Amino acid sequence: MIRVDLSHMRHFIPLPYEAALTPRLHLAHERLRSGTGAGGEFTGWVSLPRTYDREEFGRIKAAAKKIRGDSQALVVIGIGGSYLGARGVIECLCSPNYNLKKKDTPNIYFVGNGLDNDQLAEVMELLEGHDFSVNVISKSGTTTEPAVAFRFFRQLLEQKYGREEAARRIYATTDRNKGALKALAAAEGYESFVVPDDIGGRYSVLTAVGLLPIAVAGIDIEQLMAGAAAMEADCAREGMDANPAWQYAGARYELQHRGMEIEVLACYDPFFRFMAEWWKQLYGESEGKEGKGLFPASVEFTADLHSMGQYLQEGRRNLFETVVRFEPRAGELAVPFDAENGDGLNFLAGKTMSDLKQQAMDGTLLAHVEGGVPNIRVCCGARSAFTLGELIYFFCYACGLSGYLLDVNPFDQPGVEAYKKNMFALLGKPGYEDLGQSLRARLAENDS
């Protein structure tokens, strides 16, 4: 079970806020659960841990088993919510060094999340001499970055295996009924999985979007969904004392109301890095509208205490920290005894690495709070698929509540379209000629 500890943020707020905020949280909660708030047509994820398609879930597990049996690598092609959640879960539960480990599951390479030549060329080189499959993830099939990457890796598969066998190694996660990728999958015979119409990309990690790559890595997706279901039950409760998502969303809102502009997500485990990247997209894309929303940032402790630590301790006091804390696993390494004690650290001999980490957490928390930085702690169980399922659902639900507290639609992303329109125009996409001419003129003027 996830517990939200607010004891180190309360003295930054001069008056009790829970009673005053409860009616607004109640309204946000009702809108989220009933789908009657802004963007309610994209709240299918709220009930997903109970209502997910069991038949497709079985096909996901079967496809993952096939990939593990016939492929030494899986190339996952997607951008934003189409890859961040899956990569976050895989790195969190398997390792940031997953592809370097000795294992009986395929390497997993994530591409199509940018437009860099060297990234594509490097992955293609790494695949030489290896059997591989591709999972292309796109609702429309026309998003530039993954669509371009898919051209390269589809061609590579067809050159290596021929068109018919290549089709058996391509798995398309896309719209149920329409779109360029769906049409291609139907024409070529790719096995297809569904990006649900009522779940947006950044909320989709517990759908086929995330579950297929996660299952290929050997992670128990049954337990992932069970954790999400347990947290769904917790988040269905009403009241500040009963619902951890209410506590987190309420504290974030009140701290922002008191002048905080930045939320820094911290974790003391390097494996959490891409979970933090997923969290940044979730909150940045959901709240950053109409001049509103906290700016989501992340740090990796204790490493970043030796870089960002100075700013966090003594910089501008316009930020607060949210720290994710996992319980230790069994079998922790203990610090060895050194007879010479040249480094003077024998006082640590026998202590586990978790002992050291725990004291580093507590010491840092006290220093930052004393330095004027409010601190929210999200306390989780030991790292497992069940715990990650809980955490994913918790952050999603609190994000929906937070958006409604700010009176924005937490399920659209109109600002993302601005760069796409300009990029299409500059690349010469048909229908964008006039805009392209205007943009090139502005760029020339700025360069002169």
* Least confident stretch, 12-21, 292-301, 388-397: 12-21
- Average pLDDT value for residue range 287-295: 96
376 forms beta bridges with: 322
- The percentage of residues in the chain with a pLDDT greater than 90, rounded to a whole number, is 88
**For residues 338 and 208, what is the distance between their CA atoms, to the nearest angstrom?**
50
Quick one: pLDDT band at residue 423, thresholds 50, 70, 90? confident
* Comparison of pLDDT for 38 and 14, the residue scoring more: 38
Q: Which pLDDT score is estimated for 448?
A: 64
Edge to edge, what strands does the sheet with 262-267 contain? 3-5, 375-382, 319-327, 262-267, 295-300
Q: Which pLDDT score is estimated for 446?
A: 77
8 Å CB contact between 406 and 353? no
- Average pLDDT value for residue range 426-432: 83
Q: Quick one: which of 363, 357, 246, 262 has its CA closest to 316?
A: 262
Quick one: pLDDT band at residue 268, thresholds 50, 70, 90? very high
Average pLDDT, the chain: 95
**For residues 176 and 237, what is the distance between their CA atoms, to the nearest angstrom?**
33
What pLDDT, in 10s, does the model give residues 305-325? Answer: 999 999 999 999 999 999 999
Under CATH, to which class is 47-222 assigned? alpha beta
- The percentage of residues in the chain with a pLDDT greater than 70, rounded to a whole number, is 100
What pLDDT, in 10s, does the model give residues 352-374? Answer: 999 999 999 999 999 999 999 99
Q: CA dist 168 to 132, 238, 242, Å?
A: 11, 48, 48
Residues 6+ apart with CB under 8 A from 174: 136, 137, 138, 139, 140, 141, 181, 182, 185, 192, 193, 194, 195
**For residues 78 and 221, what is the distance between their CA atoms, to the nearest angstrom?**
20
Quick one: pLDDT band at residue 2, thresholds 50, 70, 90? very high
Q: Quick one: which of 176, 241, 219 has its CA closest to 6?
A: 241
Q: Report the 10 Å Cβ neighbour count for 309.
A: 17
Residue 75 has pLDDT above 90, yes or no: yes
Residue 53 has pLDDT above 80, yes or no: yes
- Average pLDDT value for residue range 23-33: 97
* Least confident stretch, 15-24, 89-98, 383-392, 396-405: 15-24
382 forms beta bridges with: 327
Q: For Cα atoms 69, 71, 77, give the angle at the middle one, nearest 5 degrees.
A: 125
CATH of domain 3-36+224-406: 3.40.50.10490
Domain 3-36+224-406 identical in fold to domain 47-222 = yes
Q: Report the 10 Å Cβ neighbour count for 366.
A: 12
Show me where the domains of the chain are located.
3-36+224-406, 47-222
Indicate which residues carry an active-site annotation: 285, 420
* Least confident stretch, 39-48, 127-136, 417-426: 417-426
Q: Which pLDDT score is estimated for 224?
A: 98
Q: Which pLDDT score is estimated for 434?
A: 80
Per the listing, tokens 């309204």 go with: 27
CA atoms within 13 A on the CB side of 79: 17
- Average pLDDT value for residue range 81-110: 97
Q: Report, in angstroms and rounded to the nearest whole number, the Rg of the chain calculated over CA atoms.
A: 23
Residue 415 has pLDDT above 80, yes or no: no
**For residues 400 and 37, what is the distance between their CA atoms, to the nearest angstrom?**
10
- Average pLDDT value for residue range 101-116: 96
What pLDDT, in 10s, does the model give residues 152-199? Answer: 999 999 999 999 999 999 999 999 999 999 999 999 999 999 999 999
Length of the chain equals 448
